[in-house]
Every structure is written in C-alpha cells, then in structure tokens.
Structure 1
C-alpha cells in the first residue's frame, strides 16, 4: 500500500546538480585537484627528506628555541612514538593532510566569523547552514567529494575542510562578539585604523576562544582523516581502515594511538605558537 503522504528525496535534486558540475566544470575541479595534490606531495616530500631520527632532533630543537621546553618534549615524544610503532611515513602523510586542511579551514572560517560577529544579518543566515553542516554525518561529505575529485587525498582534504569550517566559524563569531566594547572604543579614540584595531586589540582579546575553535578544527579534521581512509587518502586513516577490514587489532590499535599522538602534537604546537608559552602548559 503506497503512502498518501508526499515523499521528498534530497538526492533527486542534488544528484543532477552534482552531475552537471562534474560534466561542465571538470577542468576547474581537475585544476584544483592538481594544485592540492602538488602541495600535499611537496610538503610530504620535504618532511621525508631527512631520516626520522634527524627530523625529530631538528623539529625538537626548533620548537625548544621558539616555543619552550614543554612543547619541545611533546614534539619529541609524539614523533618518537609514531616512529617507534613503525608508522612514520603514514604519520607524516596525516600531519601534512591535517595541516593543509586546518589552514584552509581557518582561512575560510576566520574572515566569515569576523563578518558574522559584526553583521547580525549574516550571522542569522549562516546559523542554519552551520547547523546542517554539523548535523550531517561526516562521511556524507565524502560522497560528492569523490564524485567531483575521484579517489585519493584530494577528496579527503576537501571533505575535511568542509567538516572543519563550522566549529572554527562559530567560535570566531562568539570570540569577537565577546570582546568588550571599551577596547574597541579605545582603539577608535586613539585614531587607530580598523586594521590596527583588529590586529592589535581585537584578535589578542579574542585569542582564548579562537584557540578553542582551532583545537576543535584540528580534532574534527583528524576524525575526518580516519574516515577518509575509506576513499584512499593514505596515512594513518588508511591503516585504521586496513586494521578494521582485516580484523587486525594490533594494527588498528597502533594506528589509533598514532593518531592520538598526532592530535596532541598539533594541538600543543598550535597553542604554544598562538597563545604563548605559558598558555601552552597544561
């Protein structure tokens, strides 16, 4: 017995649109894919020039000089763990993919968040879109990404960028809305241009909340990288997928702990670099 209620299938509307884009805009998507793949391959090759022990020593020394002792110890321990469990190339691929995805997510979300904090109409328009983006299961983003960009690292990074934008955008908006008006009025009273007020007053005042948004963006990007192993992204996500499909508990556990190590590394380094040495301490 057929239902008397009308049915609605979003796929019936979205699939023709995606197919049309894939047919008519294929050169653009191919260009984007080539650029992203070139950046990923270049960064990965750069990090793989040195042997693992040398890269660990160099990176630890740089972090010690620039950020302090605590971040340097975490850098040495997390990288040493990835090397010790035999997943060094996969960890480098994951670090590269997550770093590029987070940088692009922040580059998109931060200016939109600043504009949304200053324009309530834009914030009201973005709110339902962000609600949908955070409600949709993350692996759903992989479907159109694979259709448009084929299999590999490129659809993984595109889906990761889309998944990482909402928390950074929301918390950027919240951070700038919480800035005391006295600080903004002080900058204006001193005759500072808007750019100086933004860089010297507003961003430092909003930094604690911005760091929370960056932390959420990194963690969600890492979670997406694991799912992206299903579409051939490589890295630690592929090892987790391989451990699951082959029922190899040891491989899955090692890859999972390596992902935790990468998350800890990126989180502590980002906090130390943006929030100062004291804020990076637990």
Structure 2
C-alpha cells in the first residue's frame, strides 16, 4: 500500500506540473503572476504536498521562481535570456548534426534506419507547419514540442534531449505573451518542420544544416525586431502593446 501511495502521489505531482506548464504556455498564467501552494491546491482540489512538489519541479525547470514568504511566481524572461537560449540551443544542435551526419551523405543503410523512425515525426511536422501557417498558437506549441522531442529520440541520448526540450519550453514561455498580443506576430511562427524531416530522410547533411541554421537565424531576427533600438543589448523585457509595426514575413 505504501508503494501504491507513493506512485499515486508521484503521478499527481506530474499531472499538476503538466497542467501548470500548459497554463503558462497558453498565456493564462502571465509572467510575474504570483500564487501560493494553498491557492493551487484549492484550485485543483488536492492536498498541498503534491502541489508543493510540482511547483518546485517547475522552479527547477526555470519556469517559476520561489519566495519563502510570498510563494511562487511565473518567471519573467528578457530578450537577453531568449538570445542566450537560442545560442545554447544552436551550439548543442550543431554538435548533434556533426554526430549524426559525419559525412555529407549517409549510407543507404543509415538512411533506411532513420526512415523507419521518422513516420510519426513526419506527422507531427505536418501538423506543426499547418498550425504555424494558420496562426493557431495553441495547437502549434503542442505539436512543435512533440515534434522536437520525438525527433530528439533518434539521438539516443536522453540527457541531450531533455536539455533541449527544457530550452524549447522556456523559449515558448518567453514568446507566448508577444505572439498573443503583438500585431503581425504570427508572421514569425516558424514552419520548416517538414523540410527538416525531408532533409533527414534523405540523409542530406547540407540540407539539414540549411534548415537548422534558418531556424536559429529566424529566432534571432525576431529578437532584433522585439528590440529594434538595441538588438541583443538590452536586459529589459518590453511588454507587448499591440502598437508595434508589423514585421515583414521572413
């Protein structure tokens, strides 16, 4: 019975953490929003213990900040933070590409092995691209995270995959307030998922590099647009006002 109780509590802890993460990604829990363990426990009708554990889990992931006296609040990322996330993601992904594409063209056997694993990833890619092109942010976030997570399993390194997944969640947490409130922001929704899958399917190192470089460049251009006066230099996080000029489609 003790073991079953531990499993139940662990599952509840994860469910609460997932639910709160979804609330942040959906923009319903805005950056800077404060709350207590008691408030969340009452909201979900559960005891304080799994809620406290879930909140500390999200704090460890960089999504929340804890204050001994005031409870928790949603972390506020700056444009500088965002740029650092993109830089970290770029460096790790460069290493991944070098590892899995050591030559310009993979062998037929290597390509065949990738193709067997890419069918579900290809479906995620198509759905993510469709959501991005349609400006459906809620659907895009879910498919985008699943796409990269499933693609990352091809690496066979759970630590790298977990690190990249955490970065992607943080990038979305930063991005959501802008994408929901800034005019023309949907133009910045990247939709190159199918092109990346196609390049991997062909085992084409150069094509994979072009798509991934475009992905990261796209992200940094958006940071420049957010802070046009001093791109990459400000540590302020300008609040979206909806009055900014619309960017040109990348």
Q: TM-score, normalised by structure 1?
A: 0.31
Higher relative helix content: 1
Tell me which structure has the larger Cα radius of gyration.
1
The normalised TM-score by structure 2 is 0.34
